[in-house]
Amino acid sequence: MEQQGLTERERRAWRTSFEMTELLRARIEQQLQADSGLSNADYTVLALLSEAPDGRMRPYELGQAANWEKSRLHHQLTRMCRRGLTGRERCGNRGVDVVITQKGLAALADAVPGHAQEVRRLFVDRVTPEELDLFAGIAAKILDGLRTDQPSG
Amino acid sequence: MEQQGLTERERRAWRTSFEMTELLRARIEQQLQADSGLSNADYTVLALLSEAPDGRMRPYELGQAANWEKSRLHHQLTRMCRRGLTGRERCGNRGVDVVITQKGLAALADAVPGHAQEVRRLFVDRVTPEELDLFAGIAAKILDGLRTDQPSG
DNA sequence: ACTGCCGAGTTGACGTGTCACCTCAAGGTG
DNA sequence: CACCTTGAGGTGACACGTCAACTCGGCAGT
């Protein structure tokens, strides 16, 4: 008897939201890629590292901050190290520090304005300030649920 | 002097929204993958095809409906055809129809309940009905902007 | 000391998405 | 007619994300 589980209203809400986020992410990434040669993932890592004291973090913390699986993070860092955007430095016995390089800082600084402008153009300026707060508030609620739900949380 | 272009409030709104959608998508996909062996992309294609008259569409229409690049769609369909979920049928001179197979219909029917339940659990039931409508409404506004902005739109 | 588990970090294989480029029919315009 | 453009469809190379499995130090419990 396969009940859908979602009402028509809920299904449409989900589809619209899903489609919007898919498309938005793709656009943001395209701009970033075209203008700075960075992916969204690159940008996230660079931004997080640049905000950390001394521009360095343990991979574990970085993974927590970005909500990434360790494996994804590792591959990402390997690619970024190969491109000279980040570096790895051994610190303890089995500890590694990820550091942002000068080149990484430069790439980030280069990317920030265009990225911010695109986020504004496609997202922030599309809605009223009240709507933006509302949207972010609801997103935060959902995000909170996602975090407290997972096995590793 | 690199003005950020975004206020702190805007930046946090964007980050929260972005992170939420990333995580939500990953979770939804995990459930789908684990319980039905389908990716989000598989599910989208099957759902769209199952809703089309006769379960068939032109690749072009499918691409429009899902907002996908033709290349992505083509690769996706190739993989799905290989797995027997969909088929390709020549119709005009240079025309192709994508059709959903019995196996595809069965896979979709099998996946729907669990998927709906997960969407409800992680998304719909996390917020009030009013918030859901609000969220979807704002998403629709942004989606609209994205659609009327693109080169191919 | 031996055993076993845990968790950070790593690896390879594989499915997925994007880019640049190609094919080929249809429809102009000289 | 030759020539060019447009658009649907297709292809390969490469970057990305996930999964399962592995290494290896630390830290129990016996």
Question: For residue A60, which nucleotide's C1' is closest to its Cα?
Answer: C8
Show the CA angle centred on residue B77, arms to residues A5 and B56, nearest 5°. 65
CA A153, C1' C1: Å apart?
Answer: 36
B127 occurs within a structural domain: no
Bases along strand C below 7 A from a protein CB: 7-13, 15-21, 24-26
Residue A87 maps to which CATH number? 1.10.10.10
DSSP state of A37: S
A85 occurs within a structural domain: yes
Predicted local confidence at residue A121, as pLDDT: 94
CA B33, C1' D20: Å apart?
Answer: 15
Residue-wise pLDDT tens digits, B120-140: 999 999 999 999 999 999 999
B128 occurs within a structural domain: no
B3 occurs within a structural domain: no
Q: Which two tokens stand for residue B1?
A: 């002097």
Q: What is the mean pLDDT of residues B96-121?
A: 95
Nearest to B143 among A19, A146, A150 (CB): A19
Contact B20 A139 (CB under 8 A): yes
Predicted local confidence at residue B3, as pLDDT: 44
Question: For residue B25, which nucleotide's C1' is closest to its Cα?
Answer: D17
Residue-wise pLDDT tens digits, B56-65: 999 999 999 9
Residue A115 CB-density burial (10 A; 0-12 exposed, 13-18 middle, 19+ buried): buried
A46 occurs within a structural domain: yes
Does residue B28 contact residue B40 with C-beta atoms inside 8 Å?
Answer: yes
Contact B18 A4 (CB under 8 A): no
Q: Is the CB of A37 under 7 A from strand C?
A: no
A22 occurs within a structural domain: yes
Contact B149 A19 (CB under 8 A): no
Predicted local confidence at residue B151, as pLDDT: 52
| Residue B94 to chain A, least CA–CA distance (Å) | 29
Residue nearest to nucleotide D23 (CA to C1'): A94
Q: Which two tokens stand for residue A60?
A: 């574990």
Bases along strand D below 7 A from a protein CB: 7-13, 15-21, 24-26
This prediction's pTM: 0.91
- Residue B20 domain boundaries: 8-117
A18 occurs within a structural domain: yes
Q: In tens digits, what is the pLDDT along chain A, a chain of 153 residues? A: 444 589 999 999 999 999 999 999 999 999 999 999 999 999 999 999 999 999 999 999 999 999 999 999 999 999 999 999 999 998 766 678 999 999 999 999 999 999 999 999 999 999 999 999 999 999 999 999 998 876 544
Domain count, chain A: 1
